[in-house]
Amino acid sequence: MGMEVLNREQLLNEGVVAKFLRYVQVDSPSGEGEGVPSTPEQWQMARLLEAELRELGLRDVRVDSHGIVTATLPGNVPGAPVIGLLAHYDTYPGTPGRGVRPIVHRQYAGGPIHLPAGPVLSPEEQPALLQCVGHDLITSDGSTLLGADDKAGVAEIMEILCRLLRNPDWPRGDLRVAFTPDEETGRGVRHFDVAGFGAVAAYTFDGSGLGEVECENFNALNLRVTIAGRSAHTGTARGKMINALHLVAEFIGAIPAHMRPETTSGYEGFIHPDEIQGNVEAVSLTVLLRDFTEEGLSRKRAIVEGLLAGLEQRYPGCRTRVEVTGGYRNMKPVLDQHPRVVELALQAVREAGLEPVQKPIRGGTDGAVLTEMGLPTPNLFTGGMNYHSRTEWVSVQWMEKAVEVGLRLVALWAREGAA
Ligand SMILES: [Zn+2]
């Protein structure tokens, strides 16, 4: 597909919906590759956004070697704090995400929406649809995801820039924007140059329903657990064999039933065996630990280690090992030290005529990683719903509200500088 870049006038005036419809038709799933970006296709989005930012005349337009796109919109309030707006342009790799054909459903009347490829989007499964009767909704044709996660966020930030360019008197400090790859693999933003970005605070537009301001998420620890037994010929195994498969069955069976993703919600954490491979000799499995507090996470790790120590005691000769392969932290303790970052987001949402919705995220966000890296970064709604599925959908009216919240947030931060 030849990538023609619209001219400045077209970009300034097309609106958030046209931007969104263009971006979702550019394939950019993340994937299995070792590097960042993990798929070559993601470069298409990086290059397109770079070209559009240049066409709009932004400053410091840059794409680094990992596909992280950054730019500056100079402010008009001297001394105002520099803030950042971020969205990720990769899409979820676990659902077909290439060749997205978006469909705009004007003035949703309520009831089920039958997508051409078969899936049905219904208020029974998506009660939030009932808040959107009369809205214009966008879905895929049902054969792929839509990619509102997170191209809704990308389109909204690009539209915020366009509105600010069209309204030069709207108060703003220097505004930094960043579009990042590989959020879905959790790796892209690890390469983010926080010092070079130079913002005091940032916001990801990567949430979901109307009014969401997300400031807390799981602490996460991903473990690789190895249980090694001892192999022997089955005919003469008596007294010799230690079957690692039986040991791992005991281990998994002993994980408390009330500490599983399928039995927890809200602020409850979990211990989750996620993937396994092995044989009599050795089994290796991935175990995900999640908890909103550091102490809770440590307790879960202690449970895992206690179960493994128990195996070693009961089956002399077996060996167990735990390696940490990844994780992230709850952003809340850091954000609590920077209360204005959250307060101004809540105020922007209220000024847009909405009631802020604050829920703990039972997962991580790029903002959690950035916050850990020193850039306080709560997460704001985009208006996209039912992410990672073929019945993903977005309300046009909610996208417009996300743009409005962003504009109000920019003005609120400009006032912080004048104070
Ligand atoms: Zn996302």
pLDDT per residue over 4-24, tens digit each? Answer: 799 999 999 999 999 999 999
Q: What's the pLDDT score for residue 251?
A: 98
Global pTM reads 0.92
Say whether pLDDT at 137 is over 50: yes
**Distance (Å) from CA 205 to ligand 1 centroid:** 8
Give the N- to C-terminal CA distance of the chain in Å, as an integer: 50
- Check whether 2 has a pLDDT greater than 70: no
**Average pLDDT estimate for 70-90:** 97
Q: What would the pLDDT profile of 186-208 be if each residue is shown by its tens digit?
A: 899 999 999 999 999 999 999 99
Average pLDDT over residues 276-304: 98
Ligand 1: distance of its center to the CA of 319 in Å? 39
Is the pLDDT reported for residue 3 higher than 90?
A: no
Per-residue confidence (pLDDT) for residue 309, from 0 to 100: 98
Q: Is 90 a catalytic residue?
A: yes
396-418 and 339-351 are packed helices; what angle lies between their axes, rounded to 10 degrees?
Answer: 130
Share the mean pLDDT of the chain.
Answer: 96
CA–centroid distance, 88 to ligand 1, in Å, is: 7
Give CA separation, 167 vs 52, 94, 274, 390, in Å: 18, 40, 50, 37
Architecture of the domain delimited by 219-328: 2-Layer Sandwich (3.30)
Residue 126 CA to residue 120 CA, distance in Å, equals: 11
- Ligand 1 centroid – CA 91 distance (Å): 8
Measure the CA angle with vertex 335, ends 330 and 337; round to 5°.
125
Write the pLDDT tens digit of every residue in 369-411: 999 999 999 999 999 999 999 999 999 999 999 999 999 999 9
Span from the CA of 10 to the centroid of ligand 1 (angstroms): 27
Residue 213 has pLDDT above 90, yes or no: yes
What residue ranges in 194-291 does DSSP mark as E strands? 201-205, 213-214, 219-228, 270-278, 282-291
Neighbours of 280 (CB within 10 A): 17
- What stretches of 103-177 show up as alpha helix (H) in DSSP? 148-166
| pLDDT at residue 94, rounded to an integer | 94
CA distances from residue 87 to 20, 183, 209, 265, 380 in whole angstroms, order as listed: 13, 9, 16, 27, 10
The arithmetic mean of pLDDT across residues 345-353, rounded, is: 98
pLDDT digits (tens, 9 = 90+) for 300-343: 999 999 999 999 999 999 999 999 999 999 999 999 999 999 99
Q: Which of 41, 182, 183, 206 is catalytic?
A: 183
For the question of residue 64 being annotated catalytic, the response is no
Confidence at residue 418, expressed as pLDDT on a 0 to 100 scale: 58
Six-digit token string for 9: 């006038």
Spacing, Cα 53 to ligand 1 middle (Å):
22
Catalytic residue among 27, 41, 52, 90: 90
Pick from 183, 166, 151, 210: nearest CA to 17: 151
Share of the chain above pLDDT 90, in %: 96
So where are the chain's domains?
8-216+330-418, 219-328
CB 283 within 8 A of CB 247: yes
State in Å: Cα 382 to ligand 1 middle. 10
Class of 8-216+330-418 in CATH: alpha beta
pLDDT band (50, 70, 90) for residue 1: very low
Q: From ligand 1's centre to the CA of 366, what distance in Å?
A: 8
Residue with tokens 């097309």: 14
Q: What pLDDT is attached to residue 311? A: 98
Nearest-angstrom CA–CA distance, 261 and 251: 17
